[in-house]
Structure 1
Amino acid sequence: MHLGMTENLVETNPKAARDMLTEARETTRQALTELRDLVRGIHPPVLVERGLPGAVEALALTHHLPITVTTHLPGRPPDPVESAAYFAIAELLTNTAKHAGATQARIHINHGRQRLIITVTDNGHGGATPTPESGLNGIARRLDSFDGTMNITSPTGGPTIITLEIPCALSSPKTLPSSATDS
């Protein structure tokens, strides 16, 4: 569909021009919806509204396992780091539910040595290892783009302890939403 062609039809065939404009409006609406969905996937609104601590708390509340979340962040990580951390935690919780046989999990988030440090622990049967197509490997690749690291301790019999470290500075504490306080 071309708007120039539609413009030419306005004088000669107004009905066809209106039909083309209706189609253009619908196509534009669909594209905008897809773009909004993509942006939400890249940086979910809960991160904007509540910061990483609040977003992880919300994630934990929707999980079927009991999850304890503790945080100590005196500021906010940059948006790309916050998104990467959030999605990594979500993937780790998904893995816990699908593969670990765990009955509970803990998430601890803090900042030290100019690094965001996230530890996810579950009481499952252990044996977590990254394979080329696994979610763990995907997390490692995403962290690598920030010069971050993932350390997995998962002996047979459990527990599994996964520590993520992402180099970053935090923003001023003043920019933290009031709901994103230490838990």
Structure 2
Amino acid sequence: MLDRQAAELRRIERDLHDGAQARLVALGMRLDSATRLLEVDPPTARAALLEVRELSGRALEDLRGLVRGIQPPVLIDRGLGDAVRSLALDSFLDVDVEVRLAGRLPAAVESAAYFAVNELLANAAKHSAAGRVDIRLAHEDEGEEAGARGPRLRVTVTDDGRGGADPSRGTGLLGVRERLATFDGSLVLHSPQGGPTTVILEIPCASSLPKTSSC
């Protein structure tokens, strides 16, 4: 497993270096050149800016291809609900998944939620001595509070373990919180000693990647 993960990491690093990173470096150089030419040679500057636009499109395609290579096929093909059910089947814990999603969410939101749930399941298995985990996925867009904040994906993960989870004692929950912060999302933890532990994740469906995404 560790060898496969190391090989996958090297592949991602290589693809970033040879693909998107190289294009972004070239894009920056062309943009710098176009900026210097704007006042002295506008036609050449315009041609350079058109090339910058083309390079940016290619870099975006490289990044999209890389993301498709990182994400599991079930998430790409069948959406968040089935992807989380797949995680549940792979876990040695007794995991119950309830899905209340009318359809697909923005790809970036699905990805953030999927990897967050994956981390929470791993934490429950490794640290909490839990035997059962309940996961609820819901689209919150009704009621006065939801209406004021806009549509959101809410993920609730509850385990029957010993409790006492503390984000300051490890990197897992901190990593989840940082991932969600990218989307103006939030993580609320309730984990008294003796359990149970409940983690509530909320991610705005009108996410920052891209700005126009919505549920």
Amino acid at match of 1:100: S
Note if 1:40 corresponds to 2:77: no
1:59 to 81, 87, 91: 87
Distance 1:123 1:110 in 2: 21
Distance 2:117 2:123 in 1: 10
Distance 2:157 2:168 in 1: 19
Q: Counterpart of 1:11?
A: none
Distance 2:168 2:113 in 1: 20
Taking the TM superposition and a 5 Å limit, the aligned residue runs for 1:9-158 are 35=15, 39-41=68-70, 43-112=71-140, 113=146, 114-131=151-168, 133-158=170-195
Distance change (3 Å), C-alpha of 1:31 and 1:117 = closer
Moved more, 81-90 or 131-140: 131-140
**Aligned residues of 2:187 and 2:199 also touching (Cα < 8 A):** yes
The structure, 1 or 2, with the larger RCO (C-alpha pairs under 8 Å, 6+ apart) is: 1
Structure number, greater radius of gyration: 1
**What is the root-mean-square deviation of aligned Cα atoms in Å?**
2.2
Q: Counterpart of 2:61?
A: none
Distance change (3 Å), C-alpha of 1:139 and 1:84 = same
Distance 1:87 1:78 in 2: 15
> What are the ranges of 5 or more consecutive residues in structure 1 without an aligned counterpart?
1-29, 172-183
Q: Please report how far the alpha carbon of residue 40 of structure 1 lies from its aligned counterpart in structure 2 after TM superposition.
A: 2.7
Amino acid at match of 2:159: D
**Aligned residues of 2:137 and 2:156 also touching (Cα < 8 A):** yes
Distance 2:115 2:86 in 1: 13
Percent identical among aligned pairs is: 48
Q: Counterpart of 1:167?
A: 204
Aligned length: 141
CA deviations on 1:49-78 (whole Å, 9 max, x unpaired) are 110000000110000001000010012211
Q: Comparing both structures, which one devotes a greater share of its residues to helix?
A: 2
Distance 2:85 2:135 in 1: 9
**Aligned residues of 2:130 and 2:161 also touching (Cα < 8 A):** yes
Distance 1:95 1:31 in 2: 27
**Aligned residues of 2:68 and 2:76 also touching (Cα < 8 A):** no
CA deviations on 1:101-126 (whole Å, 9 max, x unpaired) are 00110000001130000000000000
Distance 1:100 1:106 in 2: 14
Q: Counterpart of 1:174?
A: none
Output the TM-score relative to the length of structure 1: 0.71
Q: Please report how far the alpha carbon of residue 37 of structure 1 lies from its aligned counterpart in structure 2 after TM superposition.
A: 7.2
